[in-house]
A and B are shown apart, each in its own frame.
Chain A
């Protein structure tokens, strides 16, 4: 049984109707082709209407949809010869972040991905996709391995955030994330990061420093969950949709803010309604990015990555004389 979100209901109802119609047509040997065609058109139109007017919080719900393709689903479809590598060499193997060598278009890459579970058992193992320090340390180990091998890094991000636990604090998750941020700037190979679902704050950024940072159409990337923001600033869980809108966390908002470099379109109805089509779109964009970046020298790659993040931020630089010179640092055009 698929999980159906409130705003998906009208679509599913029409789909149910069309199934009944087909069934009726078959069992009673009546030609209902015309009605089916009409209904199909209505479904398409409803999908368009619903998905062209999604609120930011509805997009957050889509990004969290339990049926949404996870990084492993994309890895299985887009990469061949995936050889998973395990462990941080210090404490454990964190199942919330997976990674290993793989081939993309027959060429080697290092692919890293957040890992969410499809059921409770899996989710217990991977903490619902929330990594501990070991996850970030494993990811860095693999990224440095990619650097040594001279192969591009592909990072697929879908996490609610780093796991908030006593053990994580004791083993210094803040350091694990911070060191990743610093070290990812030192990598001499192309790094492409793609937010495929949830981009949960520092937990996402910990594997998110790339030459390119892309986001899927219905994914979100936010400094705090809308729920957390509503609790702190509004002191009211009912303000969650308002918080989601205020945080500018949708793909189109983030493109405007130059936090992301591009949006990967999803099939109408969301990636979970057509995983093959979603994977194909992701694959095309990834190919394009890797091809472009592969032309750059190792030094140029580091420089470009620095400049990309260096430019993010919006502020004003007041002149003491009172002359107000607005300055908005924005990502440079590539």
Chain B
């Protein structure tokens, strides 16, 4: 899809790398079909055969959900530090460096303001390529600042979530970001401003138990893993046999955890509609 190429320069820094094997083609995880990478990119990283949703980069996601050149990134210069001197004091800086190189991002969240069909809103996007989109001080601070900005400017807030868990290298500083982001959302909510969450694969743990599940509207991409505790931990603790499809978007829809499952091809249109419906809240 040309949309991406055109706007990649508007987010910093650009990246074309994907969470899929290198080379010109790959075998689809969903249906075993052979997919050309260019075809997959053109189709929003969704398999044209089976509809399997591959992860999007923050850049691709922003391009999908905003008007051309409208995204203005904020707090682009926040970077994580090894505050705990975790283990040998080498591991975390090394992981950060390799994630930066791999993703072209400074941390796992990109935040800013944008318009969609000329409607202004605040947008935060998490990128799984960066240390599994784990939440450390930087992710927490960026989401909090974005929320505070949305509150101050009376903007709807949209966050595209993904997270494999806590940023263990930051210990309790990581856990406390759950409280910090929730505090900012309390104030945003108190002003009567709308908050829309788009959950992508995987949205789990601390992110799930804070800002990912405090929205007015919860949308999920098909087939995403969405839950609090890891399935392996649940299995080990309870010795239970997990039901088929446990903790998927579809499971969450059935249990009343999400409002809708939206295929990526409809996401832009639906988000625009939601911003219309909430227009009265931001007057």
Which residues on A are within 8 Å of B, measured CB to CB?
162-166, 168-175, 177-179, 181-183, 185-186, 201-202, 205-206, 208-209, 221-224, 228-229, 232-233, 242, 246-249, 254, 257, 259, 305-306, 309-310, 312-320, 326, 328-329
Contacts and interface: CB of A to CB of B under 8 A. Distances in A.
A313 to B, nearest CB: 3
Contacts of B141: 313, 315, 329
Given A165-B240, A186-B186, A249-B172, A174 B227 contact: yes
B171 A222 contact: yes
B247 interface: yes
B23 interface: no
Contact of A170 (B144, B190, B213, B255): B255
The 10 closest A-B pairs by CB, nearest first: A313-B137, A164-B229, A181-B182, A314-B83, A174-B228, A174-B209, A223-B175, A177-B209, A312-B176, A174-B208
Given A174-B213, A314-B81, A248 B178 contact: no
B87 interface: yes
B173 A257 contact: yes
Interface string B233-270: 11001101011001100000001110000000000000
SS of A interface (majority): mixed
B189 interface: yes
Nearest to B88: A246
A328 B80 CA distance: 11
B128 to A, nearest CB: 16
A175 B252 CA distance: 12
Contact of A306 (B183, B228, B237): B183
A202 B181 CA distance: 14
B102 interface: no
B92 to A, nearest CB: 10
A315 B170 CA distance: 10
Given A309-B176, A315-B141, A182 B186 contact: yes
Nearest to B77: A318
A179 B214 contact: yes
Nearest to B175: A223
Nearest to A232: B168
Interface string B160-181: 0000001010111111111110
Interface of B: 76-81, 83-84, 86-87, 91, 106, 136-138, 140-141, 144, 166, 168, 170-180, 182-187, 189-190, 205-206, 208-214, 227-230, 233-234, 237-238, 240, 242-243, 246-247, 255-257
A178 B210 contact: yes
A202 B212 CA distance: 14
Contacts of A310: 144, 180, 183-184
Contacts of A179: 214
A89 to B, nearest CB: 17
B209 A315 contact: no
Contacts of B185: 182
A310 B234 CA distance: 32
Given A247-B171, A254-B172, A185 B182 contact: yes
11 contacts: A166-B234, A169-B255, A182-B182, A185-B183, A223-B170, A247-B172, A309-B180, A312-B180, A315-B80, A315-B136, A316-B81
A172 B183 contact: no
Given A232-B168, A257-B173, 9 more contacts: A169-B247, A174-B212, A224-B168, A233-B168, A246-B84, A248-B171, A313-B140, A315-B136, A315-B138
A209 to B, nearest CB: 5
A34 to B, nearest CB: 49
Nearest to A209: B179
A205 B182 CA distance: 12
Contacts of A314: 81, 83, 137, 170, 173
Contacts of B176: 205, 259, 309, 312-313
A221 B175 CA distance: 10
A212 to B, nearest CB: 14
A316 B239 CA distance: 44
A221 B147 CA distance: 27
Contacts of B205: 202
Contact of B87 (A164, A174, A242): A242
